[in-house]
Chains A and B, each alone.
Chain A
Amino acid sequence: MIQLPLLNVRDLTVEFSTRRGIVRAVRNIDISIGKGETLGIVGESGSGKSVTSYAVMRILDRAGQIAGGSIHFAGLDLRAASERQMVDLRGREMSMIFQNPRAALNPIRRIGHQIEDVLRQHAQAGSADAREKAIEALRDVRISRPEERYSAYPFELSGGMCQRVVIALALACRPKLLIADEPTTGLDVTTQKAVMDLILELTRARGMSTILITHDLGLAATYCSRVVVMEKGEVVETASAAEIFAAPRHAYTRKLMRATPRPGIGLRDLLPDENRAGEALPASAPGAPLLTVSALVKEYPRAEAGLFSRFMKPDAAGAQPFRAVDGIGFDIKRGESLGLVGESGCGKSTTSMMLMRLIDPTAGSIIFDGEDIGSIPARDFARHPMRKRIQMVFQDPTDSLNPRYSAARAIADPLLRLGACEPRTLRARVEELASLVGLPGDLLDRFPHQLSGGQKARVGIARAIALNPSLVVLDEPTAALDVSVQALVLNLLADLKAALGMSYLFVSHDLHVVRLICDRVIVMRAGRIIEQGRAADVLDHPKADYTKELIAALPHPPAQPAAR
């Protein structure tokens, strides 16, 4: 007997009315998912993958509407269903979990009450047993001490814990279909693995179907049996996970797969064929130490013990200051690229802020090119001659640009503030920098909102190298970019380093990226260095248990043949 698919989307078109007319976000797509199946929808930003899922749930915002095609769920025509029917279906038959779990929960309502709201709405619990069932739902997603956590607010929980609550919320009424929209983006790798394993385990145990929406081809291939690849609102390829890795048919899938950082490749392998032009990666030849850090410590006073700390650290000692960075030492050689890896809260951002001299260290020294810059107070460092020689590229390419500055003005900013650049030669210098980072000259007079993510990243990089710094601190410079753009930016960074003889401190949580761009790597945890060494050695033959754990948590897609 042929089983009907649980969800069957045929010829779906979704339109948005915008100021510039009607935009078709999704065009004529077909997707189906069987009972108990796990389907991945993969695509870069703007591919229409989230819009598709909103259309299925019928929660598109006001401007969007389903313009054509059909959606059938368990035999029911969802396009024709009334809003009342949809309210009954949502949460009970099909539910959804979202990116950014902390924002996905009502910030001023106790999490237990939020779960109760859903249970009561769908008549799964009455006032007598609601509390009990909500605690049960929390226990199902492995939240320890669920009775206590029932009364917690989202801000009292960690990101991974919030995502568990969101999962509990979605699964509370035992729906048949779960749509997970980028459920682990922004979470640490070990948390990502824990959350994904939990979703998979719960949905399998309950015989549920799951749609995993992600930009990460590796994640989809690891956890899904079938993968749908979307590009610009269209489905370009549908195949089993193994097949899509073994023999990607569509050019876009090949490009996406090639651009995904993974073990066993070089930086140039990320680029599409036509861009590679066979250039070899410039060899990195580290010289004498440029920066030497020793016994660096940063302490913060602890907040008073209250509700918050009682939940987070049950045995917190009140008087002891919190050591964000706890006596670390390393050096960066000239022309070297050093990776700083660790999960959130490990002290890597605090370290980079101390090196940038934005905050003062509690103890220890930072010797930069023979001078102890650690002893210069942070507020005086802005006027120090050394200031020019250390620059930074920030994580969010959009937020780190002044929205009222054009690209040219943004790049010129350090030249105007710190550089001895003649006004007459300023424009020429800005154009030179733009061409160096591959930013077309005609984009220089645009404002950030008129540029794409990749273009904004290039502006940020051009700004950082404008003063010919010796050291550039890169704080997750590609975390907000699509993989294909990330591939180009990483290659650009490697080329610039060789051309200008800079050193990099590359702060990242993405081990694959660090392997590609860094000569050496430092693994940090709880303010201490756990392991350091050559990038390839540390990542291929980790010695510390924690490093092993980090590497094991990375998604392991099915083996892939050598890139053609």
Chain B
Amino acid sequence: MLKILIGRILTTIPALIGVVVVSFLLTRVLPGDTAAYFAGPAATPQAIEEVRKKLGLDRPLPEQFASYVRDLSHGNLGQSLTTGQPVLSDIKARLPASAELTLFGLVLSLLIAVPLGIVAAVRQGSMIDHACRAIVTAGVSLPVFFTGLLLVYVFYFILQISPAPLGRLDVFASAPAEITGFYLLDSLLARDGATFRASFSQLLLPGVTLAIFALAPIARITRASMLSVLSMDFVRTARASGLSRRKVIMTYAFRNALLPVVTTLGMVFSFLLGANVLVEKVFAWPGIGSYAVEALIASDFAPVQGFVLAMAILYIVLNLLIDLSYRLIDPRMRASS
């Protein structure tokens, strides 16, 4: 098992090198001049030149790249020009906020989409099946910023049952002691019910927004995968040997239908990382997505590169976990390697 794990991690190295090169090049070819931006609108060309020199942007690209890689190997992701902080500490501070939001959305959508897909497949053509189709279509066609704004409008502005969409916690509440960086978990660990409720109510609307977005692909794949498994011979054998409906559907069919669902999960997660950027903007969420967008607008290279690299690592880790879960689900995968 350990050997496989190490082998898998080694295969991700070329991908990471690619990410480093591409993110570096992309930020250089983007329009916008960092030096001009930071010198300010009133700066003389001479002042801009000076800033450029200070930032090392006047040096040839290979040289810039070499120093970037050198810094990277020391764990230095550079300095953000907008926040004035090292990128690494910025990311460290903001990543848990994004991760909490994304995972909350993902878990919420799983809790709804998987049972929905199973029931839709088992009762094909029933009302639930049609409802599933309607929800799936709606989930795919509504952009996240629209659902986000709609939810804010309805629950905050009209019904006034939701707190203001301004970040992870009320301005007057204080964050729980940091253990995991996830407010929900940290407040639970600190046995702080009030903070838990406060952070949960802040998390609910953006989480639901992401969940609606993620619902569609998961429900669809669960339904399709269940349908194909339900028509297989071994399900017929299970029925013919008198196993209960529950046993046939859950133990026999669903476990076999899991593989495609888990595969889609990886893809959905990467969609969510993208959607996150918009949702964080709408809900003033102090996450890594909004950080990257602000940096991008300011032509601040270092945070953008750091963001892309962090996302790539996150995505690689997630795919590794998915690959490992295949082995747990399907014994054939264990045997073939």
Which A residues lie at the B interface, using CB under 8 A? 57, 59, 61-62, 86-92, 95-96, 98, 100, 103-109, 117-118, 121-122, 153, 155-156, 166, 169-170, 306-308
Contacts and interface: CB of A to CB of B under 8 A. Distances in A.
A117 B247 contact: yes
B240 interface: yes
A106 B240 contact: no
Given A91-B240, A117-B251, A98 B256 contact: no
B44 to A, nearest CB: 68
29 contacts: A59-B236, A59-B240, A61-B231, A62-B124, A87-B243, A90-B242, A91-B242, A95-B240, A95-B242, A98-B233, A100-B233, A103-B234, A104-B233, A105-B234, A106-B237, A106-B238, A108-B255, A108-B256, A108-B330, A108-B332, A109-B251, A117-B241, A117-B247, A121-B242, A121-B244, A155-B332, A169-B241, A170-B240, A170-B241
Contact of B256 (A57, A88, A106): A106
Nearest to B259: A108
Given A108-B330, A155-B332, A96 B240 contact: yes
Interface in B283-328: none
A156 B335 contact: yes
B241 A108 contact: no
Nearest to A155: B332
B252 interface: yes
- Say what secondary structure dominates the interface of chain B: helix
B236 A98 contact: yes
Contacts of A92: 242
Contacts of B335: 153, 155-156, 306-308
A141 B334 CA distance: 28
B332 A104 contact: no
Contacts of A91: 240-243
Given A105-B234, A107-B332, A155-B335, A59 B239 contact: yes
B241 A106 contact: no
Nearest to A153: B331
Contact of A122 (B242, B245, B251, B329): B242
Interface-centre pick from B242, B243, B245 (highest chain A CB count, 10 A):
B242
Nearest to B330: A108
A106 B252 contact: yes
Counting from the closest, the 4 A-B pairs by CB-CB distance are: A91-B242, A90-B242, A91-B241, A103-B233
Contacts of B237: 96, 98, 104-106, 166, 169
Contacts of B334: 307
B161 interface: no
B325 to A, nearest CB: 13
Contacts of A169: 237, 241
Contacts of A90: 239-242
A121 B234 CA distance: 17
A104 B242 contact: no
Contacts of B242: 86-92, 95, 118, 121-122
Interface string B219-246: 0000000000001111011111111110
Nearest to B234: A106
Contacts of A106: 234, 237-238, 252, 256
Interface residues of B, number: 26
A71 to B, nearest CB: 15
Given A90-B239, A90-B240, A108-B332, A121 B247 contact: yes
Interface in B38-63: none
B332 A153 contact: yes
Given A62-B124, A306-B335, A104 B241 contact: no
A109 B240 contact: no
Given A121-B243, A170-B241, A109 B252 contact: yes
A107 B252 CA distance: 9
Contacts of B243: 87, 91, 117-118, 121
Contacts of A61: 231
Contacts of A109: 251-252, 255
Nearest to B230: A61
A222 to B, nearest CB: 25
Contacts of B331: 108, 153, 155
Contacts of B124: 62
A57 B240 contact: yes
A92 B252 CA distance: 19
B165 to A, nearest CB: 44
Nearest to B235: A106
Contacts of A95: 240-242
Given A104-B237, A170-B241, 17 more contacts: A57-B240, A89-B242, A90-B239, A90-B240, A90-B241, A91-B240, A96-B237, A103-B232, A104-B233, A104-B234, A107-B330, A109-B255, A117-B241, A118-B242, A121-B241, A121-B244, A307-B334
B239 to A, nearest CB: 5
A100 B232 CA distance: 11
A104 B233 CA distance: 5
Interface-centre pick from A100, A107, A169, A308 (highest chain B CB count, 10 A):
A107
A103 B256 CA distance: 13
Contacts of A59: 236, 239-240
Interface-centre pick from B232, B234, B237 (highest chain A CB count, 10 A):
B237
Contacts of A96: 237, 240-241
Interface in B65-108: none
A115 to B, nearest CB: 9
A105 B237 CA distance: 7
A224 to B, nearest CB: 21
A543 B280 CA distance: 82
Contacts of B231: 61
A84 to B, nearest CB: 10
Contacts of B245: 87
Contacts of B240: 57, 59, 90-91, 95-96, 98, 170
A87 B234 contact: no
Given A98-B237, A108-B256, A87 B332 contact: no
A25 B332 CA distance: 38
A171 to B, nearest CB: 10
A153 B329 CA distance: 13
Nearest to A115: B241
Interface-centre pick from A57, A98, A104 (highest chain B CB count, 10 A):
A104
A103 B237 CA distance: 9
A98 B234 CA distance: 9
Contacts of B330: 107-108
A167 to B, nearest CB: 12
A87 B236 contact: no
A336 to B, nearest CB: 41
A352 B245 CA distance: 47
Contacts of A89: 242
A61 B242 CA distance: 15
Interface-centre pick from A62, A117, A155 (highest chain B CB count, 10 A):
A117
B139 to A, nearest CB: 27
Contacts of A87: 242-245
Nearest to B247: A117
A156 B335 CA distance: 9
A36 to B, nearest CB: 22
Nearest to B334: A307
A217 to B, nearest CB: 25
Nearest to B125: A62
A105 B233 CA distance: 8
Interface string B129-170: 000000000000000000000000000000000000000000
Contacts of A153: 331-332, 335
A87 B256 CA distance: 22
B314 to A, nearest CB: 29
Contacts of B329: 108
Nearest to B252: A106
B103 to A, nearest CB: 27
B105 to A, nearest CB: 29
A155 B234 CA distance: 13
B1 to A, nearest CB: 13
